[in-house]
Amino acid sequence: MNKKVYPVLLSAAFLAACGSGEQEENTSSGNEAEEEIYEVAIIPSQSIGEMEEGLGLLEESLAESLDREVEITHYPSYNAVVEALNFGHVDLAYFGPVTYLIAYEQSGAEAVLTQEIDGEPYYHSYIITQPDAPWETLDELQEDVEEVDFAFGSQSSTSGFAVPGFELYERGVYEDESTYDFNEVRFTGSHDITANVVANGDVDAGAIDSAIYNALIDDGMIDEDNYKILWESDQIYQYPWAVPDGTDEETIEEVQQAFIEIEDERILQIFGGASAFVEASHEEYESIMEAARTFGLLDPEEEDSEAENDTDDEE
């Protein structure tokens, strides 16, 4: 709101009156700011219908903790969330690690929260094969690499491509989708499909997210006896919640505390079956920066097709 500029040669009484009016105006503006809706962007980790109840409860919980109205919106793609965060259209965003790094690179977005699953805030990438395969380790598989058909998940996946792909890149057996030492390399598009093509023997080995692998077993979707784990990556931190660059520390701390206090399982379970929300920072995600950059995943044009709608894709 524009403020009036008064001539210097006004009476003291008039200046005092104007000062009082200005103070009321500032107070009014402050109240309007407090009433602004806190906008949260979500890429669903399950179907929207399955998440609806939990997200409604999350809105209520955050509104009570932050003492302001909260609105959670589903976005159609990771790229859309990045743009919303970059231009300050949302106050908080939930997305995968690689997409977070894109937002960090483009606008300085900052990871502030993640979730624990089974008591840990991280997961791994696995390379799996059939139980009767002749290899017990990735080193042994590498000796027969020219005879191996290999499967990645989505090309934008952290644990289904970027992390295991970088391991194979450093071993000198994979450079890109057209240059490799394998007999064949394919991208299945999701972790559950990778699990199936490995179990069926359509490929000899494949990369998969550890949390999704375990969840598929727990849900009876796949049989653990059909697999053997050849390789496990270092820790990969769970999906981050990030704020736009310039968000003040007081707000960050309030948001972190609001999430940490959440114990309602109906909210937690829609985020990968989380057991709790915990603080996070950019440092937890730096370990995958080199892998993402090596394969051009930080190029926004490459990410434009990254319209996944569940954890089978970017994790």
Contact 153, 161 (CB under 8 A): yes
Rounded to the nearest angstrom, the gap between the alpha carbon of residue 107 and the centroid of all alpha carbons in its chain is 16
Q: What single string gives the DSSP state of each residue in 292-303? A: HHHTTTT-HHHH
Alpha carbons 228 and 213: distance in angstroms, whole number: 12
Is pLDDT above 60 for 28? no
- The DSSP letter of residue 159 is I
The helix/strand/coil state of 250 is: helix
> If 0-12 CB within 10 Å is exposed, 13-18 middle and 19+ buried, where does residue 271 land?
buried
Alpha carbons 71 and 63: distance in angstroms, whole number: 9
pLDDT at 300: 55
| Confidence label for 155 from pLDDT (cuts 50, 70 and 90) | confident
* CATH T-level topology, domain 36-115+239-314: D-Maltodextrin-Binding Protein; domain 2 (3.40.190)
| Confidence label for 215 from pLDDT (cuts 50, 70 and 90) | confident
Alpha carbons 117 and 315: distance in angstroms, whole number: 13
Cα–Cα distances (Å) from 299 to 157, 225, 303, in that order, read: 14, 39, 7
* CATH 3.40.47.10 at 125-233, yes or no: no
Whole-prediction pTM value? 0.76
Residues 231-290: tens digit of each pLDDT: 999 999 999 999 999 999 999 999 999 999 999 999 998 998 899 999 999 999 999 999
Contact 233, 163 (CB under 8 A): yes
Contact 242, 112 (CB under 8 A): yes
Is pLDDT above 50 for 14? no
Name residue 130's amino acid.
Q
Q: What is the mean pLDDT of the chain?
A: 86
Average pLDDT score over residue span 205-228: 94
Q: Where are the beta strands (DSSP E) in the chain?
A: 38-42, 70-74, 92-94, 110-116, 122-123, 125-129, 149-152, 174-176, 179-180, 184-187, 205-209, 228-232, 236-237, 241-243, 276-279
| Confidence label for 65 from pLDDT (cuts 50, 70 and 90) | very high
Average pLDDT score over residue span 138-143: 98
Terminal Cα-to-Cα distance of the chain (whole angstroms): 45
pLDDT at 156: 81
Alpha carbons 124 and 229: distance in angstroms, whole number: 12
Count the Cβ atoms, other than its own, within 10 Å of residue 14.
Answer: 11
